[in-house]
């Protein structure tokens, strides 16, 4: 399976994935709406936001497994990396971002297994000979951290203190299987914000508030106006709340929307054009609000959680990826919030 690489730069047209290492023309990251995946169209063939299928399902968009991983150059030296993962019988993408500088490469979020993280590392090596020097744990969940031991031993790992504690607890779990992937516990902590300068490029690691987890970090490139949001932004994926802080999640998204950003990069779902990604971030904010409002309605009606799971109606979200597996978990988490039972951090 080879990586597909494309380049977009404002103003944007459509995505034309090409074989990694080939030189990329100026293109957008919106997938070609009609042609076969990987074929794309010319940069002069404009497509409107309405031409892109708004779904996280790769097959509904016309992709096959062979079209992944996808690599797109969001700005000079800044790349998104999308690889398929499975959740039950559903498939969708896990997104990482990496920034190439003269000093080395910063990676925002790994992938969900040692094999997939090695694949990403090999892809990065095909783009640059600079070493990976920094890894930012934006989400502490296993689908973004399980392969972190594959990164170079000398790399600096950054995380929020809450995420560090989660990973430390995972590493110390006496019931952890002997053959489970090694856990890397970050030693560089970011409580509110940290500004790095790598090869003259300014990179901000920020904590905008609790959201999908208690320690969500984002990576902000001020000059390029790019914000990698990790799992705080799930593009057309049902709000996954097993360790979330529902109401604070809404506030965190609103804080991101208030920033001077052109490109919002999600942690799952497709990396589309900047226009679509901004629209879909607002759609996602409303999705989180919709889940909270439905849970509040059912809670106020005196329904038990089990009854609420049976009766919940999430409207348009009923068709989103992971609705079947995450709907009940989300209701349970909002019930915990309403009952004052959420953990403090």
More reliable by pLDDT, 235 or 49: 235
State yes or no: pLDDT of 100 exceeds 50. Answer: yes
Quote the pLDDT of residue 345: 64
Q: What average pLDDT score do residues 214-240 get? A: 98
pTM: 0.88
Tens digits of residue pLDDT in 13-42 = 223 332 232 333 233 343 333 332 333 332
**Gap between the Cα atoms of 35 and 38, Å rounded:** 8
Mean pLDDT calculated for residue range 238-263: 98
The average pLDDT across 161-172 equals 97
Can you give the pLDDT at residue 17?
36
pLDDT for 51 equals: 79
Residues 70-98: pLDDT tens digits? 999 999 999 999 999 999 999 999 999 99
Say if residues 4 and 70 touch (Cβ distance below 8 Å): yes
In this predicted model, what pLDDT tens digit does every residue of 123-138 receive, in sequence order?
999 999 999 999 999 9
Q: Is the separation of the CB atoms in 100 and 130 below 8 Å?
A: yes
What backbone phi and psi angles, to 5 degrees, belong to 146?
-65, -20
Residue with tokens 């030189």: 23
Q: Tokens 């398929």 — which residue?
A: 84
Q: Per-residue pLDDT for 302 more than 80?
A: yes
Closest CA to 253 of 210, 296, 189, 203: 210
Q: In 14-149, where does DSSP find H-type helix?
A: 114-127, 142-145
Give CA–CA dist 210/113, Å, rounded. 25
Separation in Å, CA 319 to CA 31, 92, 212: 21, 14, 21
Q: Which SS3 state, helix, strand or coil, does residue 80 take?
A: strand
Whole-number Å distance between alpha carbons of 66 and 89? 18
Q: What's the Cα-to-Cα distance from 137 to each of 61, 144, 234, 247, 336, rounded to whole Å?
A: 29, 8, 16, 23, 26
Asked whether the bond before 69 is cis by omega within 30 degrees of 0, the reply is yes
136: three-class secondary structure by DSSP: strand
The three-point CA angle 9-11-15 to 5° equals: 60
22 compared with 292, residue with greater pLDDT: 292
Does the structure show a pLDDT above 50 at 305? yes
Q: What phi and psi, each to the nearest 5 degrees, are found at residue 106? A: -105, 130
The answer to whether residue 275 scores a pLDDT higher than 60 is: yes
| Locus of tokens 């994935």 | 17
Neighbours of 172 (CB within 10 A): 10
Mean pLDDT taken over the chain: 88
| Segment 300-325 mean pLDDT | 98
Question: Which phi and psi (to 5°) does residue 84 adopt?
Answer: -70, 145
Structure tokens at 172: 């110390």
> Which domains, and CATH codes, for the chain?
4-338 (3.60.15.10)
Q: Is the pLDDT of residue 59 over 90?
A: yes
Percent helix, strand, coil in the chain (nearest 5)?
30, 25, 45
Please classify residue 122 by burial: count the beta carbons closer than 10 Å to its beta carbon, then call 0-12 exposed, 13-18 middle and 19+ buried.
exposed
Please give the Cα distance from 238 to 306 (Å, whole number).
19
What is the C-alpha to C-alpha distance for residues 138 and 334, in angstroms, rounded to an integer?
Answer: 23
pLDDT at 10 over 70: no
User: Is residue 291 scored above 60 in pLDDT?
Assistant: yes
CA distance 276 to 279: 5
């Amino acid at each position: 399976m080879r990586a597909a690489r494309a380049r977009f730069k404002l103003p944007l047209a459509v995505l034309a994935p090409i074989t990694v290492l080939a030189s990329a023309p100026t293109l957008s990251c919106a997938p070609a709406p009609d042609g076969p995946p990987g074929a794309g169209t010319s940069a002069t063939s404009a497509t409107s936001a309405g031409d892109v299928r708004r779904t996280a399902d790769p097959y509904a968009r016309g992709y096959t497994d062979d079209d992944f991983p996808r690599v797109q150059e969001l700005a000079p030296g800044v790349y998104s990396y999308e690889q398929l993962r499975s959740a039950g019988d559903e498939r969708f993408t896990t997104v990482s971002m990496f920034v190439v500088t003269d000093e080395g490469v910063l990676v925002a979020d790994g992938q969900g297994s040692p094999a997939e993280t090695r694949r990403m590392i090999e892809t990065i090596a095909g783009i640059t000979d600079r070493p990976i020097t920094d890894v930012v744990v934006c989400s502490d969940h296993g689908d973004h951290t399980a392969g972190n031991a594959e990164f170079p031993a000398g790399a600096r790992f950054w995380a929020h203190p809450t995420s560090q504690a989660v990973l430390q607890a995972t590493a110390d779990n006496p019931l952890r299987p002997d053959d489970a992937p090694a856990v890397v516990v970050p030693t560089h902590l970011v409580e509110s914000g940290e500004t790095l300068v790598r090869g003259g490029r300014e990179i901000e690691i920020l904590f905008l508030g609790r959201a999908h987890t208690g320690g969500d970090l984002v990576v902000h490139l001020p000059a390029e106006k790019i914000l990698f949001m990790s799992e705080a932004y799930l593009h057309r994926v049902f709000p996954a709340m097993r360790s979330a802080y529902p109401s604070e999640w809404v506030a965190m998204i609103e804080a991101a929307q208030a920033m001077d950003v052109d490109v919002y990069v999600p942690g799952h779902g497709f990396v589309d054009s900047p226009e679509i990604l901004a629209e879909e971030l607002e759609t996602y904010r409303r999705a989180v609000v919709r889940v909270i409002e439905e849970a509040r309605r059912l809670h106020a009606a005196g329904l038990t959680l089990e009854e609420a799971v049976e009766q919940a109606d999430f409207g348009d979200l009923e068709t989103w990826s992971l609705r079947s597996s995450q709907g009940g978990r989300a209701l349970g988490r909002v019930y915990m919030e309403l009952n004052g039972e959420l953990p403090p951090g």
